[in-house]
Structure 1
Amino acid sequence: ILLLPAIGVSINMISMFAFLVVLGMGVDDAIVVGENVYEFRQKGMGHMAAAIKGAREISKPVTFSIITTIVAFVPLLFMPGTTGKFWAPLPAVVIIVLAISLLEALYILPAHLAHSSSEPHTGFGRRIHAMQQSFSNGFSRFVDTHYRRLLDMCLRHRYITLSSAIAIFIVVGGYGTSGHMGMIMMPQVAADEIEAGIRLPVGTTPDQAARVAGLVTDSTRRMFEEHNLYEVAEGVKTNVRRGSFIDVEIVMRPPDEHDTSAEEIIALWRDQIGDIEGVSQITFEAERGPGGWRQDISVDLSHSNIETLEAASQALLLRVQEFEGVTNVNDNYDKGKAQFDFTLLPEGKNLGLTPADVGQQVRDAFYGALALRQIRGTDEIEVRVKLPKEDRKDIQSFADLVIVTPAGAEVPLLEVVNVKRGAAFSSINRRDGRRVINVSLDVEPKRQVSRVLEAIQTETLPDLRADFPGLTWTFEGSQAEMRESTAALWGSFGLAIAVVYALLAIAFSSYLQPLIVMTAIPFGVVGAIIGHIILGFDLSLISFMGVIALSGVVVNDALIMIDFANRKRDSHSAFDAIHMAGLRRFRPIILTTLTTFGGLTPIIMETSRQSAYLVPMAISLGFGIVFATAIILVLVPCLYMILEDLKSHAGNTRTA
């Protein structure tokens, strides 16, 4: 906590979650060191000697295990966009705590253990000690009987064990990537607000906008009364923006006070409002926390010809509405106010007229020509001459308007120009210098977003380009952010895996043994998927962030097991060494798994809205560690022996 201000991190929801995440991890190395010291104490060594020998023996694998965990969290520091800023405190806190915990485990903890009291316990302490001894003896009996038999069986049938593990990975991984599980940007949480966004034609008067706002507000209040929604929502807010946009918001009560979803209210609201005369577009959205209002799919269309671009956007609007579950289809194209476009005819040019001459005289007729400017006190008064008000409102005035040529002659306006009705642009949207029209939509349920997105990418847009040659498109909004974040995550993940491999290669002085340790990573992913399935969560970007962090955590137990086996190879066979390593490391592996999962359990079980963004990462970490531990205890020893088999086979081949 003392170091957080120095790195710009405050005490907030994410940093507190980071402390919960690292709560179990931070004691893992202490458990491993303490358990190793305890083993030497059981052999009759004194407190000081056991503390020194136990800490020294385990210092190398513990140091590398902490470093690999830190490396796995580093990619989360470089997440781009809003998501990266939102989650930045998590890896920062975890890295700091892990670094400090390493110092504590290797120096402070052994010092405490070296000066432990050997005096017999009395009173309440005696009863606690008796309970601890009873549990420890029972745990040891379980290891010496049940786990020993399981390990013997798996080692002797190691190829069947490996095949079974691969089958589990294929089945679960295939299910996770088959589309049966939803893939979403952010976890779905209860909405704070629900908004109806109403777009009016450009040029709508304030009175007309107020009338529409009143109609929508009245419809909303009737909906509240008919469906008794006052227990669900606190009230309604209406805001008219720039005359052409109206926002009507329903402020929701906390989700623990009701069980009505935002989707249910939106369905009622859409039916209640219906179609309103004079409204260009109505969209309904639910505000769900970080990122604010965002639509599920957003496409920017671009073309060199604005008429073609407009036609293509309208065609896309119609086609995406045919997809099941698609709602709130809209675009950002607005034709703007009606206008008359003047084109100078050859007859006008022959009379010496220019477009500027004609434009100025038409403007003077309707907006006024400056006739007099007079100073009265501190005020300047302008006198302008223009057509009478009733003529300025009559379109026939164009037919009667007279233009004066440079020679002083008077000619009717329509004899020198061609007049055509058109529309002014209320705004011109560009992205990277290209004129674009954005088409956006929502999908319900959210797990179907990836399916609809794939259909639009592979079918709808290519067909649209066939109808409108030269059309290009890009995905923006939440899709662009997810694409950018996912690409950054996978790139960082690949680099982190490479660094972890390099660290393990240094620790083992081998290029093959790190591969054994790293088999825990894919099975950690399997555990994360199983956790999401059990708890009914869709996979999200936050879930993938948890998987990346998991990759550095799950290798720790395997690292320490392989290190122990390597040290025993000097005096034992490969089978005996890995068998002893499995039995010896079972206790610390189980304890570290339980502490890590226990630290994450409160978040996994939390149901508040604030925790909804944290739960997927906690599920990935917690269930991934539990499943990977089960795999490590049986598969890593088998892989160790399979590697020895391959070495023996290679040696026999060279000898032959």
Structure 2
Amino acid sequence: MIAWFAKNDVAANILLCVIMISGLYVVMNKIPVDLFPAIEQRSVQVSMSLPGASPQEVEEGISIRIEEAVQDLEGIREITSRSNEGSASVTIQVEEGFDVRQMLDDVKIRVDAISNFPVDAENLLIQVPQWRRDAIGVMIYGEYDAVTLRRFADDIRDEISALPAVSQVEISNTLPFEISIEIPEMILRQYDLTLEQVSGILRQNSTDVSAGNLKTEGGDIFIRSRGQAYRATEFADIPVITTQDGTMIKLGDIATIKDGFEETPLRMRFNGVPTVEIEVFRTGDESIVEVTEAVRQYIEQKQSQMPQGMTIDYWRDRSEPIKARLETLTKSAWQGALLVIILLALFLRPSVAFWVCLGIPMTFMGAFLFMPLFDVSLNLMSLFAFILVLGIVVDDAIVTGENVYSHLQRGEDPLQAAIKGTQEVAVPVTFGILTTAAAFLPLAFQTGRGSWYAAIPFVIIPVLLFSLIESKFILPAHLKRVKPRLPGQKPSKFSMVQQKIATSLERMIERFYQPALAQAMRWRYATWVAMFAALLIIIGAIASGQTKFIFFPRVQSEVATANVVMPAGTAFESTDRIVAAMTVHAKSLQEKYRDTDTGESVVRNIYSISGGRNSTTGRVQIDLIPPESRPIDVSTREIVNEWRQLVGQVAGAEQLNYRAEIGGWGGSPIDIELKGRDVDALSELGEKLKDQLRGYAAVSDIEDSLSDGKEELQLELKPEARLLGLDLNTVARQVRQAVFGFEVQRVQRGREEVRVMVRYPLEARQSIETLEQMMIRIGPNQEVPLWQVADVFPGLSPNTILRVDRQRTLTVSADFDKEGGNLSLVQEEVGRWLSDEIAAYPGTYFEMAGEARDQQESSQGLLVGSAALAILIYILLAIPFKSYSQPIIVMSVIPFGLVGAVIGHWIMGMDLTLLSFMGMLALSGVVVNDSLVLVDYVNQKRKQGVSLKEAVYNAGGRRFRPVLLTSLTTFAGLMPLLFEKSTQAQFLIPMAVSLGFGILFATLITLFIVPVNYLILEDIKAYLRRYKSDMKGLIKAKSTS
């Protein structure tokens, strides 16, 4: 095949063009653009509502029943339930290796079979949470009431949905519409009505009824009555009762009808002005750039049509950081490619360097063909993978091209030189590519946060395989065009420079490298001991903590968020005042970091939310300009720290935390689950744990999942109530209908489902006194006040009940300054303290969650991947060598590559991270390539009859240039990324450091340790042969005697 393609350059060029054109088409039309890869959701979520119920009622009526129904399903990793006021959420984590969709079907069957849910339970939803790709936010804001803003937002949402580039739009952080019909108790008594009776009357009169078809000669005519009410005015016209004098009393005569939102306080502000947010998402293969451009064009056109005092603007255009990051990494890729081309041109003939470099775009286009098959988008990770492989991808072409170039220098025919030079190194080059591909393969099977990097092997492996095709079938057809330099031909100036470099390199090999190699071969055991000692020193530095290890580095975002949670029962206005104060401090930062020349501030917008589903929560978000574009040099972390200091301690706040990083789905840096049946014991232990954490300077934002509890009123039936024929259920149900309300019906208005409620006026539901005066019906025209039949006692109800694996659970979490402390050490110390402390609480135990759990899972994945990789590399080396021992020579260089990786982190002043170790894992397959080429050359020469030491010695000199060149190109391809300053590229750099510096150090080691190990292995073989021979002689001597 090699000879056929070399002779048939038309076929080689057609193959090249097909790959290039196909790949270009796919990348332009089939590969979506994202900032980060989508993460597979390995969980099933069950949610259900129980309006008006306390968390305990929700726990007993919904959460526990769902847990018990699904707990024995195979493949469940963990069951977590949260019981809140009026709603339950149960999340079922699925073990790796089990089908999430199958688990979804199994859960649906089990939950659908539950027959004893509370009567009022509704809105059962069972789903696999979807990875939502936010594209851009649209803000409609102005000094208008919430209903007016919402109705404008509804129209704008529909218009944006109609844009050709947009497919999914939602109004976010808003409340459902509700029609509230409020009737005072006095009016009800006046007309001898109950809320339930009013509800029944409305239900009968607010409806559309089909009356069948009228058969006529002209056809069927459909008959139906139209009585459904949709608006407050229509409900007001419904007749409720007719008096004895014939007067018709309508609902509007006895009730106050409010057409608005649910009775849940919510206040949203954009730059201090009331607002409604519309969120636009990207789905499928849609381009986020096209989606955001379409929305921003719409906003520009719509602005002139908005009412006076109302503004429409965009918020958090996610395409901006994507374009900036991709532009930055693309620039790094082009700079790296340019450095690779320059290096190749300096060491090889320019024509040879050109044909070698032509393989780079071809292999990249080949990888683009496979990206849609693996569901890989063009994102920060996949582009980073292209940069990683930039210098590696030409390794096989360099070895092939350099060998062909050597044949040309000896005056051989270009075609024969191309064929022979390619065939000579075909085996080591092929298996070298396979070992490199194998090195990246374990990254595809990482779990936990390690799965974030799964896109890397799905890019690198196709690139390497296409490089193998290019170096075997396309490159030889091009290299045959390289003409040898004729005798007496005047060299060009560039050729003269190149010749000087080549001469200098040869002189260095002869004067420095080969004498040093001879000494290393002579003192091979001392050399081996010295290198092994260096390896032990590095391992000791890591184990002792001298080299800092941050498993998950912080990825700074362009959005800083502050969240506050006040104690349950806190008035909404109190929470809103705190949010307003946090917003004021954010505005002060906006002014502080405003450029005096341009007027541009680092802080672009401020968005705050008070209340919502929980009136005691608040959030403030600051939208920041990307770090590389900021008019003032200040980091996101510095802004957040200053914001935290300005806000200070919020009196009474249960939780107050600040976040400004991407990728928080793995949990907090410190996250500990306390489990047991005794809630008081969990609470006491949780307080002790928080006190212990406060002793660490690097720990901040300490919080737990157990609130102080919401005030509640508990009813206890009096003995005389039973004499009146009342039971607790009857009394409680009448109280619930009066306070929470009686649902009449739900009507569909456009996209919105509107709940119609009948209840007492708000002022009748705001004090214990009015509640006690509430009248309880005991029969027709008979009623008594509540205080006569029941006692009302104050109490506390937990705001949220958390259960993990069917156990009551208290979580204690905290943030951690990873630059200022050692997280692993703190986690270890806290774990030891907790193990001792928990002995005083029988039946209670703890588990490390959050980052600690992710770290354990990722570490296990790395260990398993490392073991599998070592076996795979050994197999791939043993096959071409046809030897069980020689793969050990090649693999012996791997630990020294790791030494280089650690030294590289020292030089760059960086901490070791998860990506550092992933880089080391990938390095294991890359560094063996040079060793493989050396050992293969020694084996070839020994087959030709050259002595062992001469073959080993000559191998170093003969393969010095390709070994050096492959290492330099790999490092050159990574160099621009190593010095990249953009914020979100920082966490990628440790992997590039591991690869780049590991390759450089391994090259130096390879040129000495491989010859030394080859000789040591032969010494061992010779010793074993002598020992075996001596044993045979001894046995023979004994047998003859």
Shorter-chain TM-score tier: 0.7 to 0.9
| Residue of structure 2 in register with 1:587 after alignment | 961
* Match of residue 643, structure 2, among 263, 269, 285: 269
What is the distance in 2 between the residues matched to 1:74 and 1:306?
A: 46
In 1, Cα distance between equivalents of 2:486 and 2:611: 78
Kept after mapping to 1: 8 A contact 2:963/2:1003: yes
Counterparts of 1:391 and 1:55 in 2: how far apart (Å)?
88
CA contact (8 A) 1:524 1:628 kept: yes
| SS of residue in 2 equivalent to 1:340 | strand
Aligned residue number for residue 303 of structure 2? none
Structure 1 unaligned spans of 5+: 373-379
AA at the equivalent of 1:214: A
Kept in 1: contact 2:371–2:459 (CA 8 A): no
Matched residue SS, 2:498: helix
Q: Distance in 1 between matches of 2:390 and 2:738?
A: 78
Distance 1:602 1:384, change over 3 A: closer
Deviation of 1:150 (Å): 0.6
Q: How far is the alpha carbon of 1:466 from its aligned partner? A: 1.7
Q: Is the contact made by 2:777 and 2:783 (CA closer than 8 Å) also made in structure 1? A: yes
Residues 342 and 121 (structure 1), Cα distance of their counterparts in 2 relative to 1, 3 Å cut:
farther
Q: What is the one-letter code of the residue matched to 1:117?
A: K
Q: Which one of the candidate residues 215, 239, 243 is aligned to 2:609?
A: 239
Report deviation, 1:350.
10
Does residue 562 (structure 1) correspond to residue 935 (structure 2)? The answer is: yes
- CA shift in 2, pair 1:474/1:201, >3 Å: same
What residue identity is the alignment partner of 1:622? G
Cα distance in 1, alignment partners of residues 822 and 568 from structure 2: 35
Residue in 2 aligned with 1:30?
Answer: 397
Equivalent position to 2:974, from 600, 621, 628? 600
Per-residue CA deviation, residues 492-511 of structure 1 (Å, 9 max, x unaligned), is 22212211111111121222
- Does residue 1:158 correspond to 2:521, yes or no? no
Match of 1:60 among 427, 442, 451: 427
Q: Structure 1: how far apart are the matches of 2:757 and 2:900?
A: 79
Give the 3 Å change call, closer, same or farther, for CA 181–343 of structure 1 in structure 2.
farther
What aligned pairs does 1:356-375 form with structure 2 within 5 A after superposition? Answer: 356-357=729-730, 359-360=732-733
**1:462 is the counterpart of 2:835:** yes
Residues in 2 aligned to 1:366 and 1:626: alpha-carbon distance in whole angstroms: 74
Judged with a 3 Å threshold, the aligned counterparts in structure 2 of structure 1 residues 191 and 390 are, in CA distance, closer, same or farther, namely closer
Is the Cα–Cα contact under 8 Å of residues 344 and 354 in structure 1 kept in the other structure?
Answer: yes
Question: 1:116 aligned to 2:448?
Answer: no
The answer as to whether partners of 2:556 and 2:984 remain within 8 angstroms in 1 is: no
1:238 maps to a residue whose letter is S
Q: Is the 8 A contact 1:366 1:392 kept in 2?
A: no
Q: What is the CA-CA distance between 1:263 and the residue it aligns to?
A: 4.0
Closer/same/farther in 2, CA of residues 5 and 92 from structure 1, 3 Å limit? closer
Instruction: Indicate conservation of the 8 Å contact 2:591/2:601, yes or no.
Output: no
2:657 is aligned to: 283
Query: Relative to structure 2, which stretch is displaced further, 431-440 or 593-602?
Result: 431-440
Alpha carbons 2:654, 2:703 under 8 Å: kept = no
Instruction: Report deviation, 1:547.
Output: 1.1
Deviation at 1:268, TM superposition (A): 2.9
In 1: Cα distance, 2:756 partner to 2:984 partner: 60
Deviation string, structure 1 residues 336-386 (Cα, Å, up to 9, x no partner): 42113456699989998754255346657877999x9xxxxxxx9999899
Paired residue type of 1:327: S
Contact 2:449–2:858, Cα closer than 8 Å, also in 1: no
Q: 1:559 to 1:389 in 2, by over 3 A?
A: closer
Hey, what does 1:437 align to over in structure 2?
810
> Which stretch of structure 1 is more off in the superposition, 206-215 or 221-230?
221-230
Name the structure 2 match of 1:172: 538
Report the Cα offset of residue 248 of structure 1.
1.5
Give yes or no for contact 1:187–1:538 (8 Å, CA) kept in 2. Answer: no
Q: From the superposition, tell whether residues 589 and 367 of structure 1 become closer, same or farther in structure 2 (CA, over 3 Å).
A: closer
Deviates more, 1:16-25 or 1:322-331: 16-25
Structure 1 length normalisation: TM-score?
A: 0.88
Question: 1:12 corresponds to which residue?
Answer: 379
- Alpha-carbon contact 1:220-1:273 (below 8 Å) kept: no
Counterpart check, 1:45 vs 2:412: yes
Where in structure 2 are the equivalents of 1:68-467 lying within 5 Å? 68-81=435-448, 83-84=450-451, 86-118=452-484, 120=486, 126-222=492-588, 231-242=601-612, 243-256=615-628, 257=630, 258-286=632-660, 288-291=661-664, 295-342=668-715, 354-357=727-730, 359-360=732-733, 393-394=767-768, 421-446=794-819, 447-459=821-833, 461-467=834-840
What is the aligned partner in structure 2 of residue 649 from structure 1? 1023
Quote the offset at 1:529 in angstroms: 0.9
Structure with more relative contact order (C-alpha pairs < 8 Å, separation 6 or more): 1
**Residue among 612, 617, 621 paired with 2:991:** 617
Which string of whole-angstrom CA distances, capped at 9 and with x for unpartnered residues, describes residues 483-539 of structure 1? 323322322222122111111111212222111111221111111111111111111
Cα distance in 2 for residues equivalent to 1:455 and 1:305: 25
Task: Report the more deviating stretch, 495-504 or 45-54.
Answer: 45-54
- Whether 1:530 and 2:903 are equivalent positions in the alignment is yes
Deviation at residue 390 of structure 1 after TM alignment = 7.4
* Post-superposition offset of 1:273: 1.8
- Residues 575 and 429 of structure 1, relative CA distance in 2, 3 Å threshold: same
Cα distance in 1, alignment partners of residues 496 and 739 from structure 2? 101
Deviates more, 1:594-603 or 1:414-423: 414-423
Residue identity in the other structure for 2:413: G
| Shift in Å, 1:189 | 4.6
Task: Verify the 8 A CA contact 1:187 1:612 in the aligned structure 2.
Answer: no
Instruction: Name the SS of the counterpart of 1:179 in structure 2.
Output: coil
Question: In structure 1, what is the Cα distance between the partners aligned to 2:756 and 2:656?
Answer: 45
Distance 1:652 1:5, change over 3 A: closer
Q: Distance in 2 between matches of 1:369 and 1:38?
A: 89
Alignment of 1:635-646 (within 5 A): 635-646=1009-1020
3-state DSSP class of the match of 1:429? Answer: strand
Q: Between Structure 1 and Structure 2, which shows a larger proportion of helix residues?
A: 1
Asked if 1 retains the 8 angstrom alpha-carbon contact of 2:435 and 2:925, the reply is yes
Deviation at 1:160, TM superposition (A): 0.9
Instruction: Give the one of 943, 950, 975 matched to 1:576.
Output: 950
CA contact (8 A) 1:4 1:10 kept: no
* Residue aligned with 2:512, SS: helix
The one-letter code sitting in structure 2 at the alignment partner of 1:442 is: D
Tell me if structure 1 keeps the 8 A contact 2:890–2:928. yes
Q: How far apart are 1:26 and its partner, in Å?
A: 1.3
Q: Distance in 2 between matches of 1:520 and 1:404?
A: 88
Report if the CA contact (8 A) 2:667-2:849 is conserved.
no
Q: How does 1:623-638 map to 2 (within 5 A)?
A: 623-638=997-1012
CA pair 203-594 structure 1, distance change in 2 beyond 3 A:
same
1:143-185 Cα shifts (integer Å, max 9, x gaps): 1221110100101111111111111111112212322333223
Deviates more, 1:267-276 or 1:147-156: 267-276
Normalized against structure 2, the TM-score is what? 0.57
SS at the partner of 2:811? Answer: strand
Report the residue type matching 1:639 in the other structure: N
Contact 1:37 1:51 survives alignment (8 Å): yes
Q: Are residues 123 and 198 of structure 1, via their aligned partners in 2, closer, same or farther at CA, if it must alter by over 3 Å?
A: farther
**Alpha-carbon distance in structure 1 between the residues aligned to 2:930 and 2:720:** 91
| SS of aligned partner of 1:577 | helix
The one-letter code of the counterpart of 2:607 is: K
Equivalent position amino acid for 1:97 in 2: V
Q: Is the 8 A contact 1:223 1:272 kept in 2?
A: no
Give the Cα–Cα distance (whole angstroms) in 2 for the partners of residues 599 and 91 of structure 1: 18
Give the length in aligned residue pairs: 643
1:281, 1:382 → 2: CA distance?
A: 34
Structure 1 residues 115 and 218: CA distance shift in structure 2, 3 A: closer
> What secondary structure sits across from 2:528 in the alignment?
helix
Partner Cα separation in structure 1 for residue 871 and residue 465 of structure 2: 21
1-side partners of 2:532 and 2:716: how far apart?
A: 75
3-state secondary structure, aligned to 1:25? coil
Structure 1 stretch displaced more, 624-633 or 340-349: 340-349
